[in-house]
C-alpha cells in the first residue's frame, strides 16, 4: 500500500501536469492571434501608426545616429497617384484584385524559378502578405513566421476590402533607407507629392520595392532602367481595387 493510500489520501496523478505543457502554448498562441485580430479590426477605420518593420528599421538607423528618424507621411488613397497604384500592382501582384490574400499560382511559379536558379530570386508574396509582414512581423525567414504571415493575411482579407488593404500598404511599404510610404518616397526621390507622380516615376518606384535600400543608393542601375520599361508597358492592364 502506498503512503498516500495509507493516509487515506488520493495518490498523485502522474502526468497531470503534462497537459499544461500543451495547453499553455496553445493559450499563448490564441492570445497572440487575438492581439493581431483586434489591431486589424481597429485599423479598418483608423490609420496605423508605426509598423513593426518601421520600428525595426528606425532602431537600426539610431544605432549609427541616435537622432535618426524614418520618413513617413500618411496620405489617403485618393491622394496617391493612380500611376503608382497601377505600377505596384503590375510589378508586385498582378492578381491583387482577384485573389483572397494568397496567389497560390504565383507561389508555385516562384518556387519553380527559385529551384531552377538554385537561389531565392522570386518570392511570390502578394500585396496583402507583404502588408501582414510589415505591420506585425520581423524580416527573418522561417516556416513559423511564414505560417503566422498567412494567418494575418487572411485576417486582413476577411476584415478589410481591397482598397483599404492597398491604402495601408501604400502608406507603410519601404521605398528606401528610412523612407516609408508613397508620400515620403515621392518627396525623397522626385520632390513632388504622391498625387503628382508621373507614370515613369511611379514605375521606377515600384521596381525598387523588392530591394529599396539597395536601389536608393544605386538609382542609375541598368536593371532598374530595364525593369522600369517593362512595368511601364504593363501598367495599362493593371486592375485597381
Helix H or strand E segment including 41: helix 18-43
Delineate the domains of the chain, giving CATH numbers in brackets: 70-237 (1.10.3810.10)
How many helices (H) and strands (E) in the chain?
Answer: 12, 2
Q: Cβ distance 233 to 213 under 8 Å?
A: no
Write out the three cell numbers for 204.
521606377
Query: What is the per-residue pLDDT for 72?
Result: 96
**pLDDT value at position 144?**
80
CB 83 within 8 A of CB 198: yes
The DSSP symbol for 10 reads P
Count Cβ atoms within 10 A of the Cβ of residue 38 and give its class: 0-12 exposed, 13-18 middle, 19 or more buried: exposed
Q: What is the pLDDT along the chain (241 residues), one digit of tens a residue?
A: 444 444 555 555 555 677 777 788 888 989 999 999 999 999 999 999 899 999 999 999 999 999 999 999 999 999 999 999 999 999 999 999 999 888 888 777 766 666 666 555 456 789 999 999 999 987 667 778 888 999 999 999 999 999 999 999 999 999 999 999 999 999 999 999 999 999 999 999 999 999 999 999 999 999 999 999 999 999 999 999 8
**How many C-beta neighbours within 10 Å does residue 215 have?**
21
SS3 55: helix
Residue 84 burial (CB count, 10 A): 24
Amino acid at each position: 500500500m502506498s503512503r498516500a493510500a495509507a493516509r487515506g489520501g488520493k495518490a498523485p496523478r502522474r502526468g497531470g501536469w503534462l497537459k499544461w505543457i500543451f495547453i499553455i502554448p496553445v493559450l499563448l498562441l490564441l492570445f497572440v492571434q487575438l492581439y493581431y485580430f483586434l489591431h486589424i479590426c481597429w485599423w479598418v477605420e483608423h490609420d496605423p501608426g508605426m509598423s513593426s518593420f518601421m520600428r525595426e528599421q528606425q532602431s537600426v538607423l539610431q544605432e549609427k545616429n541616435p537622432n535618426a528618424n524614418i520618413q513617413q507621411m500618411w496620405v489617403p488613397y485618393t491622394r496617391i497617384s493612380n500611376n503608382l497604384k497601377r505600377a505596384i500592382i503590375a510589378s508586385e501582384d498582378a492578381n491583387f484584385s482577384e485573389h483572397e490574400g494568397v496567389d497560390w499560382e504565383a507561389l508555385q511559379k516562384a518556387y519553380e524559378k527559385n529551384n531552377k536558379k538554385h537561389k531565392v530570386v522570386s518570392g511570390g508574396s502578394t500585396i496583402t502578405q507583404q502588408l501582414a509582414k510589415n505591420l506585425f512581423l520581423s524580416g527573418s525567414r522561417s516556416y513559423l513566421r511564414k505560417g503566422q504571415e498567412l494567418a494575418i493575411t487572411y485576417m486582413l482579407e476577411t476584415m478589410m476590402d481591397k482598397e483599404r488593404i492597398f491604402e495601408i500598404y501604400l502608406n507603410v511599404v519601404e521605398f528606401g533607407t528610412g523612407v516609408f510610404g508613397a508620400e515620403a518616397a515621392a518627396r525623397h526621390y522626385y520632390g513632388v507629392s504622391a498625387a503628382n507622380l508621373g507614370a515613369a516615376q511611379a514605375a521606377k518606384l515600384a521596381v525598387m520595392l523588392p530591394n529599396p535600400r539597395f536601389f536608393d543608393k544605386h538609382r542609375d542601375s541598368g536593371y532598374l532602367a530595364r525593369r522600369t520599361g517593362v512595368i511601364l508597358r504593363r501598367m495599362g492592364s493593371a486592375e485597381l481595387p
